[in-house]
Amino acid sequence: MSDDSFDVIVAGAGPAGSACAYALAREGKNVLLLERGDSAGAKNVSGGRLYTYALELLEPGMYLRAPLQRRIVREQVMLVEGRRATTLDAADPAWGEGVPQSHSVVRASLDEWFASEAEGAGAVFASGMRVDGLIEENGRIVGIRVGEDEMRAGVVVAADGVNSLLAQQAGLFPDVEARAVGVGVKETIELPDSVINARFGVSNEEGVARVAIGCTEGISGGGFLYTNKGSLSLGIVFNPEQAAANGRQIQEIFQDFKEQPGIAALIDGGTSVEYGAHLVPEIGYHGIPKRLHREGMLVIGDAAQFGINTGLVIRGMDLAIVSGLAAARAILKEGTPTGPAYMAELEELALLPTMRAYAEFHGIFGISRIFREYPALANQALGFLFNVDGKVPPPMLKKLLSVVKENVTFRQLAADAWKGYRSV
Ligand SMILES: Cc1cc2nc3c(=O)[nH]c(=O)nc-3n(C[C@H](O)[C@H](O)[C@H](O)COP(=O)(O)OP(=O)(O)OC[C@H]3O[C@@H](n4cnc5c(N)ncnc54)[C@H](O)[C@@H]3O)c2cc1C
């Protein structure tokens, strides 16, 4: 049995763990970064859009050397009703020019790069090392176990993702509840850049982010599509409880999404090179456990349930990086930090205030008609407005009202508007 000792042990080399290890190692801390996968990123699944301000916070200019894919210059929202779809397309070639905004990323290369940055700054990085448990002495976490080996540290940072074994072992929160997470599936589809550029109306460095609503058979959730260099990331995120009650396999619903004409045309001829499924924190601020620290231990990233999903914007990687930086700053200030130093950094770096600002947003997903009736309504209304068949059209207002009535009652509309208003 070995008995190694470090200032800090970080468990998990996702964006949270690598950011934390990097920020500590560059200040001369003796850091061990452990990853259970064969390489950093080997086990990770993400939609693939990173809000790069987080890297800028970690170190000015860092985002310029990260393996980013395409700068997002087109934001699209697709409202799906079966084979029909209405797509809003907001484009601005200046988005993100010279400043960090958002870029598509491929997790395998991002995570590998990030862990190597931590290593380059002086951290010891070991992959293929699954942390199996914590060592506790006199009520304090003093290290971790990997198989038979024990490793000790002044602080253990749990960066082991959404279903954090370590935070659960530390008694900080029970098993993840189904209502608090989404299940995401994602496929990477290779296509030549020239094809991607032509289909999406962008140049080589520019990218598109699309969210889709109405493609989940009425289940709370939605689809996403990001353009990378030489590939597309296509996926769907669901509420697992509703998906289980729906009876159809997630893969079947995902297949329907891929066959939706508006999506099928974009991925046509592509080669599927990767498929994965993963949990994602869904309920935002109200899902954060009451305590994110124990004596000798801090919890960061998805393990702390840091996530924001507004339906249009999905944020997790940026919050993971910011929380990793917050933990590092607390450790650098206080040595072995008590929780308040970490919590203060989360405030200072605007992570908790931002999550509070979106705290009620999850209520939007309680409006079940967003996932079926309203996309249908939009498609039917626009279908009517664009239709020319040589016949005398019905009075426009009357027809539009009848389209509304076919999908929702005015009572439901008023109730949903009120709920939506209260959520934002
Ligand atoms: C389908 C999907 C789409 C998403 N889309 C986006 C998006 O577009 N933009 C965005 O910002 N976020 C997105 N997210 C969320 C984002 O992926 C997470 O918020 C982010 O990865 C959190 O980073 P993390 O470092 O905290 O955790 P993770 O990325 O989960 O990393 C945890 C790491 O810890 C390792 N690990 C786990 N247990 C152990 C252990 N016992 N010992 C050692 N290592 C361990 C894992 O292998 C992993 O490498 C998406 C998530 C999903 C599922």
CB 354 within 8 Å of CB 322 = no
Question: How far apart are the CA of 238 and the centre of ligand 1, in A?
Answer: 17
Q: Which of 29-33, 124-128, 215-219 has the lowest mean pLDDT?
A: 215-219
> Residue 104 burial (CB < 10 Å; 0-12/13-18/19+)?
buried
CB 12 within 8 Å of CB 324 = no
pLDDT band at 3 (very low <50, low <70, confident <90, very high): low
Q: Which of 1-10, 28-37, 78-87 has the lowest mean pLDDT?
A: 1-10
Around ligand 1, the residues with Cβ closer than 6 Å are 11-17, 34-37, 43-50, 130-131, 159-161, 165, 184, 186, 235, 237, 278, 280, 301-303, 307, 314-318, 320
Which residue's entry shows tokens 């850049």?
Answer: 193
Quick one: average pLDDT of 204-212?
95
Q: How far is CA 113 from CA 19, 39, 106, 359, in A?
A: 11, 11, 11, 32
Beta carbons within 10 angstroms of residue 152's beta carbon: 15
Question: How far apart are the CA of 45 and the centre of ligand 1, in A?
Answer: 7
Quick one: average pLDDT of 375-384?
94
Question: How far apart are the CA of 304 and the centre of ligand 1, in A?
Answer: 11
Each residue's pLDDT tens digit, 226-248: 999 999 999 999 888 888 888 87
Question: How far apart are the CA of 35 and the centre of ligand 1, in A?
Answer: 12
**pLDDT surpasses 90 at 318:** yes
Task: Determine the atom of ligand 1 nearest the C-alpha atom of 166.
Answer: 41
**pLDDT surpasses 90 at 250:** no
Atom 50 of ligand 1: nearest residue by CA position? 46
Atom 30 of ligand 1: nearest residue by CA position? 161
Percent helix, percent strand, percent coil in the chain, to nearest 5 = 40, 25, 35
Does an H or E element contain 294, and which? strand 293-294
Q: Is the overall model pTM greater than 0.85, yes or no?
A: yes
* pLDDT of the residue at 1: 40
**180: DSSP letter:** G
CB 124 within 8 Å of CB 5 = no
More confident site: 53 or 364: 53
